[in-house]
Structure 1
Amino acid sequence: MFKNYFIIALRNLSRNKVYAFINIAGLSIGLACAMLIVLYVKDEVSYDRFHTNVQNVYRITTQEVEKDGSKGRKDGNTGPLQGPRFARNVPGIKTFLRVQSGYEDIKSGTEVKSQDLLKVDSSFFSVFSFPLLSGDPATCLTEPHSIVITEDAAIKEFGTTDAIGKLLMLKDDSVFVPYKVTAVAKKCPQNSSIKFEMLVPINMAIEEESNSENWFNFYLNTFVVLEPAANKQDVEAKMQRYYTADSKDALKVLTEKYGDMGWKSTYQLQSFVDMHLSVDLPPQNGLTDASNPMYSYILSGIALFILLIACINFINLTVARSVKRAKEIGIRKVVGGDRKQLIFQFLGESFLLCFIAFVFAIGLVQLSLPLFNSLANKVLALNYLFDVQLVSAYIILFLITSLLAGFYPAVVLSGYNPVQTLYSRFNLGGKNYLQKTLVVLQFSLASFLIIATFTIYAQFNYLTTEKLGYDDSNLVMINKDNLTRSEVNLLKTELLKNDNIIDIAPKNGGQWGTAAKVNGDSVVQFTYETVNESYLPLLKIPILQGRNFSTDFPSDSSNSVLVNESFVTNAGWKNPIGQIVDFWYDNKKYTVIGVVKDYHFNSLSQKIGPELFTMKAANVYGMAYVKIKPNSETSSLKHIEQTYKKLFPISPYSYTFKNEANIRSYEAEAKWKQIMLFSAILTIFVSCIGLFGLSVLSAEKRTKEIGIRKVLGASVTGVVTILSKDFLKLVAIALIIAIPLAWISASKWLENYPYRITLGWQIFALAAVLVILIALVTVSFQAIRAAMSNPSKSLRTE
């Protein structure tokens, strides 16, 4: 019996190649998408779970307590005190580990390069299970000038992984000091929130660990390992009680010195495995690969959409083709076949077809993995498919898809009346509401994704083309730590010897933030920029009131500041020129001499906040902006590099174009733009091949009707209209359903951006026109073919 069913299934597939292709192609694409998303989700939830004792590892986090007692901002950073003091004084904490990110200059021969590394406590390899190729994990980080490197770093630096005892020259203050390699680690797993190439001891000064004011200094990550029997909530309560008692005197001193700045915090423990997908407390400051569970939800939804559409195609085509198999069903029933056997037969055919699609899907996954990895910022491989959990998931996916695609057609086909089918009196009959509903559903999903794609494209285009309020073209950024004013002048003099260099302006490295008092005791928090008189003119940032810094006013470097419009708004000033900004903690007061027009110093994903500019002599610069002439990149960059290396031979050289850096700040939006584009294309493709199959069947069922209409004088256009209008009605209904849902979802998504497009009717109209045109082309292809056929042939055929 099974052999008979199998042979019949193969014959049906070979005899109906078009429908077999449509079903297999659709299911293959749907299953491949589902497999890729399962791979993605599995990788997301597996982050950091490879560590042996990870269930007992927690990160110390804080939450600010506002002046009114309400809860404020959460932070995953701590200072140097929390780890050692909590470990010594809070029962239930077994050990601690501090992880601080940083860059160090490394000298190799005459070349100096900047290397990111982690500064960690000697307990690093006892807390985390990073395997070593060589070296002792218990002692490799105990000596002050020891260094642990990965196998990739060892090959890069020494040409071999046999690097124990070899020396690396790291810059310590202004002197290069030898560090001895004490261990070589394997490459960090790709699903790790801690990725490193080099580790050095944190070497915290005794003064820092003994100064209780460092309770309020946050700049590194602190992890603790709890005793197996410890209760997390109990430990948190004990931590808070100890912190309150131990920081009491320091808090009093700081409040008297700086005022009530909301110094108080509450301490919590965040499970190490929860960091990767945490929205409030993501991995940061040396920890990598922060993600958002929303990505998994969205991708899973897209995969479900595509797989559902493929199953809808299967159901629609199988039921629509049932007329051709009606006599077969009738004969089977007459010779004694019962309904259960017929259901089993058709389910078997469904399973066979799904199995073929499943095999093709694995091939599609292998072919598309490089592209998917690029879109999702992953390093997934096909061998991940052979994980026991994943294999189980795919088997379940296969069974569900087979049942979902085959159960309803099996029930419908097995219920035909044998008398009607054998006398050719059978008609599928009815209004085919299910079939029409499924067509509406799949085109609703497709329309929804197309509108989402258009919205993301429009928002991304807005983010990357909207004027920032300054000129970022042909602007080269050069990084140089501790750049002094005399060095800036020397660098400017040398660079301007090349005619392609227009000007140079220094700025502090990174982004500084601080607070100051205005109007007496009102505190304003702001971005704090250290620049000189060339900075604003170089970037073409307008000054709305007052004047710029000037060398004609020597006091500008000690007594004057510029502020932006947002600062003025926050301070509540109507006449900002001459107002006083009080840095009370430094006992310094500055006078506002100018107001700068608001510009986007961050990406458009962030709202413009208060900003203050100073020329304070005690502040150092960290980079220089160099303006070059258009189309002179090659010669200008060569001159900049030669000049830099001549003036700063022991400092690493690196540069970035400002406009390219600005575009990179929208990498997440760019990735989602591509993901949604591919999703929309796949959804439309799968929907259209299903619609094409239905149009072929519709034309076949109406062959005689078409012949009679043509004999009676109907035109090709008229016949095409008759065959197409029913399908286009369904597509129109799908658009009516999809547009409101897409508008709600798109509006909700755009709320994440302070600067965003306005959802106009154009996006929805364009999507509607596109969907209708695609459906019309799909249906019309077969309709035109049927309309142009010879009516005499169709009328001779019974």
Structure 2
Amino acid sequence: MLKNYFKIAFRNLIRNSVFSVINIAGLSLGLTCCMLIVLYTKDELSFDRFHENRNELYRIDVTMKDHEGSRTIGSTNAIHGPSFKQEIPEIKEVVRVQGSSFVIKKGSELLNENVIFADNNFFSVFSMPLLSGEPGTVLSDVQSVVLTEKMAEKYFSTIEAVGKVLELKVGESFEPFVVSGVARDCPQNSSIQFDFVLPFAFQESRKWIDNEWLGFYMNTFVLLNDKADYQAISPKMNKVFTTKSAEEISKIKDFKQKITFHLKPFLELHLDAEADGGLRNGLTYASNPIYSYILSGIAIFILLIACVNFVNLTVARSLKRAKEIGIRKVVGSQRKQLTIQFLGESFLLSLVAFTCAIILLVVVLPTFNDLANKQLAFSYLLDLKLVSGYVALYLVTGLTAGFYPALVLSGFSPAQTLYHRTRLTRKNYLTKGLVVFQFALSVCLVVGTVVIYSQFKYLTNKNLGYNDKNLMMFRIGRGGTAENARTSIMQDLKGISGVENVAAFNGNYNGTGAKINGREISFGYIGVDDNFLRTMEIPVLKGRNFSQNFPSDPENSVVVNEAFVKEAGWKDPIGKEIDFFWKQKKMTVIGVVRDYHYASLKEEIQPLLLTQDPNYGLGAIYLKLNETGIPETMKKVSAIFNKHVPFLPFEYKFEDASNLQRYESEAKWKQIITFAAILSIFISCIGLFGLATFNAESRMKEIGIRKVLGASVASITTRLSGDFIKLVLIAIVVALPLSAYLANLWLENFPYRIEISWTYFAIAALLAIAIAMLTVGYQSIRMAMTNPIRSLGSD
């Protein structure tokens, strides 16, 4: 019996090859999307769960409130963790982790590598397996270093590296660090990523540590006792802070910030969407859980629609099998047997679709990894729980896709089917409603794609207030020989024909505060030379630029932007004083520059102050290059750098490329939403095709009569297509206000954004209508051109 069922099912698949391919394609796409999202979600939820102490590990977070609002950061200072441990018995261990970088010698080559500083209990608290070395002592020597197996192979061509020496640039010279351990490469689902680990005690020995209670620049983790309530620790930390920081705070006049400490479970760090700045200082791979929700929603929708389309197509083709069902019932087949047969066909088709989905998964996984910034592998599928989940998904898909057709087909009356009197109602509001829903979502996705494309184009082409074309920047370091070499480097660079302008910059946009008329404001704070504004092509709107003709500028003068003037409430800013109370100094505004976007366009332009404070080292150089001969110019720039800064690798970046990188997230979501729109439209067309087939085949006799009475192919096609175009028009009416609302909601995340145009909606609507007409038109024309004798004789 089962063999017979299988044979009939296989023959039906072959006989109806077009419908079989469409069904398999739809189910395969749905299953592939589900598999990809399951892999993605599994990876997201698996972050940091390999640590043995995961349930007792927490990071110390800080919330700061003032008159401008509040923000939470995951940073502390070196003094916080040890002080809390000393006063709070529930804290078993404290581990400080700080990200940094070092230049390391590899023969004659100089390489800039990322490292982390960590306390000597790092490998005891965190489950980062060592291939060699003891977890408790591997960081006990201040001149020791632990490196990963990948770095051991890179620098020593072997993982047997313990006892070997690495030379790291410390200050103006290279110092030897002995390899005390080799760790396994960090798992890809680890928030802590490192290539080298240096003892935190090394910084303490060189007095690099800032022990102020009001400093926040490193991660501090605590390991609690098994029975400790982490929420009860926060009040105790705040009590310690209040007591210990009192003297320091008393020295700051008008200190109004409220600072509170609390613990964040280590397992929540990866999906922490609230902490300001995300994961940093040795932590990485921060993610927003909203991505999992959005992708899961898309995948579930695609699979659900694929299953419903399977139902539509199967029912639509059922008229072709009505006679078969009647004969089976006449010769004694029971409804139960017919139900099993049709369910069997559904499971067979689902099995083929599942196999195709696995093949498709392997093919598209590299592309998905690139879009999602993941390193997922097919081997993830071999997890026992996942295999069980996919088996369950297969069973649910086969049952969902086959249950309703099996129920309908097995219920046909033998007398009606043998005399071709079987009718399936055309007033299938559920199916038509689903078509409306499908196309409404498709239109929303198309509008979303157009809006995201337009906003991305706007972000990457908007005038930033300065010219970032052919503008490159490289760092020379601060202090010592680098500081002394800066003048010589800039002088030599000016002699290169391909260099149009040269300027010095401190290298980062830092934040600080000052008082204006007794009111404290916050602003960006950068150090520049006289030529910075000319090189960046930023105009001075009022007053003047820094100049060597005014020797007092470095000590007494500043330049501000328009946003600073607005925040200060000045009408005439030139000559106004800014009180830097924290360094007991006042400086005078000599110029106002046009606002320019020194941060991404996802942030509003903030107040900015430019200074030539001699204590503010200018460790970076900007070059404005001529458009022609850039490769040759770069070779000359590199030679000059290596001549004057022989202990640093020459690393540079172009400003326009750096600005583009700020919108990587938008670029990836642009691609994801585009793919989702294409899939949604494709699967919606499958559903529409199935409904058109069902409608046309159930009206074959009507079509034949109309043709005999003289109806043209065009009129019949219009009549058959009209109902479906109405459904698509209803979908457009539903989708346009919804897509407009969602588009505006998304655009609210950008202070600088496009204005939504009616053309976006027109494009989506016309595309939906065109695709629907092509889908339905093909089937309608085919049926309209059928010989009327055949149509009338079919009944």
Normalising to structure 1: TM-score of the pair?
0.95
Question: Which residue in the other structure is 1:606 paired with?
Answer: 603
Query: Once the two structures are aligned, what percentage of the paired residues are identical?
Result: 51
Give aligned pairs, total. Answer: 790
Query: What is the identity, as a one-letter code, of the residue corresponding to 1:480?
Result: I
Structure 1 range deviating more: 618-627 or 436-445:
436-445
The 1:175–1:206 alpha-carbon spacing in structure 2 relative to 1, beyond 3 Å, is closer
| Partner SS for 1:18 | helix
Question: Which residue in the other structure is 1:323 paired with?
Answer: 319
The counterpart of 2:128, out of the listed 124, 127, 130, is 130
Q: Following the alignment from structure 1 to structure 2, what is the Cα–Cα distance between the partners of residues 606 and 706?
A: 62
Q: Following the alignment from structure 2 to structure 1, what is the Cα–Cα distance between the partners of residues 763 and 446?
A: 10
Tell me, yes or no, if the aligned pair for 1:134 and 1:183 is still in contact at 8 Å: yes
Question: Which residue in the other structure is 1:371 paired with?
Answer: 367
Structure-to-structure mapping, 1:42-57, within 5 angstroms:
42-57=42-57
Q: Does 1:648 align with 2:642?
A: no
The 1:7–1:498 alpha-carbon spacing in structure 2 relative to 1, beyond 3 Å, is same
Q: Following the alignment from structure 2 to structure 1, what is the Cα–Cα distance between the partners of residues 483 and 77?
A: 32
Question: Which residue in the other structure is 1:623 paired with?
Answer: 620
| Partner SS for 1:129 | coil
> C-alpha offsets along residues 494-528 of structure 1, whole Å, 9 cap, x if unaligned?
11222111011111122211111111x21111110
Q: Does 1:781 align with 2:775?
A: no
Tell me, yes or no, if the aligned pair for 1:81 and 1:209 is still in contact at 8 Å: no
Which residues of structure 1 form unaligned runs of 5+? none
Q: Following the alignment from structure 2 to structure 1, what is the Cα–Cα distance between the partners of residues 618 and 336?
A: 81
Query: What is the identity, as a one-letter code, of the residue corresponding to 1:544?
Result: L
Deviation at 1:701, TM superposition (A): 4.0
> C-alpha offsets along residues 524-572 of structure 1, whole Å, 9 cap, x if unaligned?
1111011111111111112211111111111111111011111111111
Question: Which residue in the other structure is 2:513 paired with?
Answer: 515
Q: Following the alignment from structure 2 to structure 1, what is the Cα–Cα distance between the partners of residues 402 and 738?
A: 30
Q: Following the alignment from structure 2 to structure 1, what is the Cα–Cα distance between the partners of residues 110 and 425?
A: 81
Question: Which residue in the other structure is 2:583 paired with?
Answer: 586
Query: What is the identity, as a one-letter code, of the residue corresponding to 2:50?
Result: F
Deviation at 1:590, TM superposition (A): 0.7
> C-alpha offsets along residues 259-299 of structure 1, whole Å, 9 cap, x if unaligned?
3141x411111111100001112322221001000000111
Question: Which residue in the other structure is 1:205 paired with?
Answer: 204
Deviation at 1:406, TM superposition (A): 1.9
Structure-to-structure mapping, 1:653-692, within 5 angstroms:
653-692=650-689
Tell me, yes or no, if the aligned pair for 1:333 and 1:418 is still in contact at 8 Å: yes
Query: What is the identity, as a one-letter code, of the residue corresponding to 1:146?
Result: S
Structure-to-structure mapping, 1:35-74, within 5 angstroms:
35-66=35-66, 72-74=70-72
Q: Following the alignment from structure 1 to structure 2, what is the Cα–Cα distance between the partners of residues 210 and 397?
A: 55
Superposed CA RMSD in Å reads: 2.1
The counterpart of 1:767, out of the listed 764, 767, 771, is 764
Deviation at 1:738, TM superposition (A): 1.9
> C-alpha offsets along residues 458-482 of structure 1, whole Å, 9 cap, x if unaligned?
1111111111111000111112211
Deviation at 1:620, TM superposition (A): 0.5
Query: What is the identity, as a one-letter code, of the residue corresponding to 2:356?
Result: F
Query: What is the identity, as a one-letter code, of the residue corresponding to 1:41?
Result: T
Q: Does 1:637 align with 2:637?
A: no
Q: Following the alignment from structure 1 to structure 2, what is the Cα–Cα distance between the partners of residues 506 and 685?
A: 55
Q: Following the alignment from structure 2 to structure 1, what is the Cα–Cα distance between the partners of residues 617 and 306?
A: 61
> C-alpha offsets along residues 25-71 of structure 1, whole Å, 9 cap, x if unaligned?
1000000001000100110011000111111110011111436xx97
The 1:486–1:148 alpha-carbon spacing in structure 2 relative to 1, beyond 3 Å, is closer
| Partner SS for 1:514 | strand
Question: Which residue in the other structure is 1:346 paired with?
Answer: 342
| Partner SS for 2:433 | helix
Q: Does 1:737 align with 2:731?
A: no
Tell me, yes or no, if the aligned pair for 1:208 and 1:214 is still in contact at 8 Å: no
Question: Which residue in the other structure is 2:724 paired with?
Answer: 727
Query: What is the identity, as a one-letter code, of the residue corresponding to 2:52?
Result: T
| Partner SS for 1:481 | coil
Structure 1 range deviating more: 412-421 or 283-292:
412-421
Q: Does 1:482 align with 2:478?
A: yes
Q: Does 1:273 align with 2:267?
A: yes
Question: Which residue in the other structure is 1:195 paired with?
Answer: 193
Q: Following the alignment from structure 1 to structure 2, what is the Cα–Cα distance between the partners of residues 164 and 570?
A: 57
Q: Does 1:544 align with 2:541?
A: yes
> C-alpha offsets along residues 706-763 of structure 1, whole Å, 9 cap, x if unaligned?
4444454444433332232222111111222222222222221111111111222111
The 1:442–1:240 alpha-carbon spacing in structure 2 relative to 1, beyond 3 Å, is same
The 1:414–1:487 alpha-carbon spacing in structure 2 relative to 1, beyond 3 Å, is same
Tell me, yes or no, if the aligned pair for 1:566 and 1:609 is still in contact at 8 Å: yes
The 1:180–1:610 alpha-carbon spacing in structure 2 relative to 1, beyond 3 Å, is same
Query: What is the identity, as a one-letter code, of the residue corresponding to 2:623?
Result: V
Question: Which residue in the other structure is 1:388 paired with?
Answer: 384
Question: Which residue in the other structure is 2:91 paired with?
Answer: 93
Structure-to-structure mapping, 1:416-427, within 5 angstroms:
416-427=412-423
The 1:485–1:573 alpha-carbon spacing in structure 2 relative to 1, beyond 3 Å, is farther
Q: Following the alignment from structure 1 to structure 2, what is the Cα–Cα distance between the partners of residues 504 and 290?
A: 37
Query: What is the identity, as a one-letter code, of the residue corresponding to 2:688?
Result: L
Q: Following the alignment from structure 2 to structure 1, what is the Cα–Cα distance between the partners of residues 139 and 505?
A: 36
Q: Following the alignment from structure 1 to structure 2, what is the Cα–Cα distance between the partners of residues 617 and 193?
A: 39
Tell me, yes or no, if the aligned pair for 2:75 and 2:218 is still in contact at 8 Å: yes
Structure 1 range deviating more: 113-122 or 277-286:
277-286
| Partner SS for 2:610 | strand
Structure-to-structure mapping, 1:122-161, within 5 angstroms:
122-161=120-159
Query: What is the identity, as a one-letter code, of the residue corresponding to 1:231?
Result: D
Q: Does 1:752 align with 2:749?
A: yes
The counterpart of 1:259, out of the listed 243, 254, 260, is 254
Q: Following the alignment from structure 2 to structure 1, what is the Cα–Cα distance between the partners of residues 394 and 764?
A: 33
Tell me, yes or no, if the aligned pair for 1:605 and 1:755 is still in contact at 8 Å: yes
Tell me, yes or no, if the aligned pair for 2:316 and 2:690 is still in contact at 8 Å: no
Question: Which residue in the other structure is 1:118 paired with?
Answer: 116
